């Protein structure tokens, strides 16, 4: 049973989470709940801002950046059928496949994890904290500049 025993870190995290609920601030204190509570409009505003900056930085890139409506992939055991509405950043390229775009994003620092649908790479800002957005923009800018000469 020792392998099933909860350790001190798990108990501390559980205590902090329960205390946050007791105070009535879980959507502010718990990152996953904060992300789930974001409205489609909030995500869309962030996505528009990010894509505008990206297009200004790399106006001649062959990287096609668009916004499209979609559903967030919450998944996991607690919410496999939960799919809140969102706005996705869609990436495509005239000569790079979606798999190659995704590969390059995963090799960036920090790695960017995205999903592929209809030969487009999709990024959901619901999973990107505001303080991480600058790093995402840097990785996308690097990808756009790489795509000019198609070298990894």
Residues 55-97 pLDDT 10s: 898 888 888 999 999 998 776 666 677 788 999 999 998 888 9
Q: Given this model, what pLDDT does residue 142 score? A: 87
Q: Given this model, what pLDDT does residue 78 score? A: 65
Strand partners, 85: 71
Residues in the chain where the model's pLDDT stays below 50: 151
Round to whole Å and give the CA distance between 137 and 152. Answer: 17
């Amino acid at each position: 049973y020792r392998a099933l025993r909860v350790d001190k870190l798990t108990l501390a995290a559980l205590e902090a989470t329960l205390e946050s609920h007791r105070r009535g601030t879980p959507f502010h204190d718990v990152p996953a709940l904060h992300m789930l509570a974001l409205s489609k409009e909030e995500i869309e505003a962030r996505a528009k801002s990010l894509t505008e900056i990206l297009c200004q930085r790399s106006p001649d890139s062959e990287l096609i950046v668009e916004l499209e409506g979609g559903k967030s992939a919450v998944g996991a055991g607690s919410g496999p059928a939960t799919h809140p509405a969102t706005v996705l950043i869609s990436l495509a390229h005239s000569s790079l496949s979606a798999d190659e775009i995704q590969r390059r994003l995963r090799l960036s620092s920090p790695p960017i994890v995205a999903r592929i649908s209809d030969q487009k790479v999709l990024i959901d800002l619901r999973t990107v904290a505001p303080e991480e957005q600058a790093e995402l923009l840097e990785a996308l800018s690097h990808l756009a500049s790489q795509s000019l000469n198609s070298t990894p």
